[in-house]
Amino acid sequence: MRISKFDSVVTCACLGLLGFFAWHAQEGPRSFAFREKLASQSRQLGEELAAIQKQRTDFETRVSLLRPESVDPDMLDEMARSTLDVAGPNDLIVLDSP
């Protein structure tokens, strides 16, 4: 069985391409290590998203207490006192010195 030059050139070219793609699968910019990094980043962003969604829910709850249709008297009192810097007759005031 005789192997021609063409067959050996094609075989070498195919092996070269196979090596090229194998190297990029291991070390390239879209490699398996990059995939693990993306998965880690995805988990981290998921945790951040959960924290932000909780914060948003808390804000929505506070805003719903201030709607004109149903103002919560305690929330209104708290906001008025903090905005106007006033205290009630039975409130205890503690001053912090700088």
51 within domain boundaries: yes
> Rg of the chain's alpha carbons, rounded to an integer?
33
4 within domain boundaries: no
pTM above 0.75, yes or no: no
Give, as one character, the DSSP assignment of residue 31. S
Assigned token pair, 24: 């990029």
Contact (CB, 8 A) for 35 and 28: no
49 within domain boundaries: yes
6 within domain boundaries: no
- The number of folded domains in the chain is 1
Contact (CB, 8 A) for 75 and 65: yes
Per-residue confidence band for 15, with pLDDT thresholds at 50, 70 and 90: very high
45 within domain boundaries: yes
For residue range 35-78, list pLDDT tens digits in order.
888 899 999 999 999 999 999 999 998 888 777 777 778 878 88
Residue 50 and residue 53: Cα distance in Å, rounded? 5
Domain holding 37, by residue range, is: 13-84
